[in-house]
Amino acid sequence: MKLYDYILSPSCYKVRLMAALAGATLDLRAVDFHPGGEHRGPELLSLNPGGSIPILVDGDLILTESAAILVYLAAKAAPEWLGRASAEDAAREQQWLSFSGRLTTSLGGARLHEMLLRPGDLAALQAAGIAALRELEAGLVEQRLRGRNFLVSDRPTVADIACFPYVALAPDGGVSLDPYPAIRLWSRALRALPGFIEMPGIHRLHELKPEPNLEQSEV
């Protein structure tokens, strides 16, 4: 499986993260998104006329929507990441996978504007991002009251991975995460999963490692 990837893209990171958690191996092909704009060049447009990344190519199959890529990776390598134990779970999973598109547009748009100077109405993007964060917070509170720590069930699924990156990187676009305690706990639970990998802007949870015994002049 070949992933057309960009280190700073939260959507590409979703795919790398899912693969890491599922134990799947990806062949990464770096795309010069910034400053080169390679995603709008002839080679990539022939794979994805929509001009976006990530793009996953597996034999004859070309996927250009990150939610679909997550589902594909999970179905192939780690079906326990699909939340389909009941009709309700399947619907919740689809609900949050679709919802993740709103996070991309709003929080992702604010981030691209603030960080990489892409055009956009910053105030409108931030307001839409805050509205989405409030919905996610309320959803997580309700799940916790049902005894479930994640968006679909009591274990993480593709829905959590689809929503996590743009949420965790909201401050890059000038949107604070301070007002959302349930999101903070959920984010921490995801970051503490075995096999979790970071992307720039998401720091290592150093508390998971014991304090090293430091000795002087060890170098």
Partner 1 sequence: MTGSDPAPYRQAMLDEWYPVGLVSQLDRAGRHTALMGEPIVVAGDADGRPIVTGGNGRILPVKVRYGHVWSSVGAPTKDIFPIPEADQPGRRFVDVGVVRVRCSPLRAVENFLDIAHFPFVHTDVLGAEPHTEVLNYTAEIRPDVDEVWATQVKFYQPQASKSASGGITTEYMYRVPAPTCSVLYKTCPPRPSEWDVITLFVQPLAEDRCDVWPWMALFDDETSMTDLIHFQQMIFLQDRSILENQIPRLLPLDPGMEIPTRADLTSIAYRRWLKRHNFTYGAQLVAR
Partner 2 sequence: MRSDTTGFWTPVALSADIPSRTVIPAHVSAGTIALWRSQAGQIAASADRCPHRGMSLSHGFVRGEALSCIYHGWSYGMSGHCVRIPAHPGLTPPETIRVATHAVRDAGGVVWVAEGTPASDPPSLDGLTPLRSLTIEADRAAIEAAAGVPANADGLIEITRDGEDLCLLLSGSQQSQTGVRTVVHVLVATGSHAPQRIAASRNVERLRRMAETASANGNVQ
Q: With CB cut-offs between 5 and 8 Å by kind, which of partner 1, partner 2, none does residue 172 bind?
A: partner 1
Q: Which does 34 bind (CB under 5 to 8 A by kind): partner 1, partner 2, none?
A: partner 1
Nearer to partner 1, 147 or 194 (CB): 194
| Residue 66: closest CA among 133, 13, 132 | 13
Write out the two tokens for 72: 């594909």
The CB-of-206 to partner 2 minimum distance in angstroms stands at 4
Q: How far is the CB of 134 from partner 1 (least distance, A)?
A: 22
Does residue 46 interact with partner 2 by CB under 8 A? no
**Residue 199 touches partner 2, criterion: CB under 8 A:** no
Q: Is the peptide bond before 156 cis (omega within 30 degrees of 0)?
A: no
Does 117 engage in binding with partner 2 (CB under 8 A)?
Answer: no
Residues binding partner 1 (CB under 8 A): 6-8, 30-32, 34-36, 38, 114-117, 171-172, 174, 200-201, 203-204, 206, 209, 212-219
Long-range contacts of 177-180 (CB under 8 A, 24+ apart): 177/133, 179/137, 180/133, 180/134, 180/136, 180/137
- Quick note: the x/- pattern for partner 2 over 137-166, rule CB under 8 A, is xx--xx--xxx-------------------
85 binds, among partner 2, partner 1, none (CB under 5 to 8 A by kind): none
> Exposed, middle or buried, 54 (CB in 10 Å: 0-12/13-18/19+)?
buried
Partner from partner 1, partner 2, none binding residue 60, C-beta < 5-8 Å depending on class: none
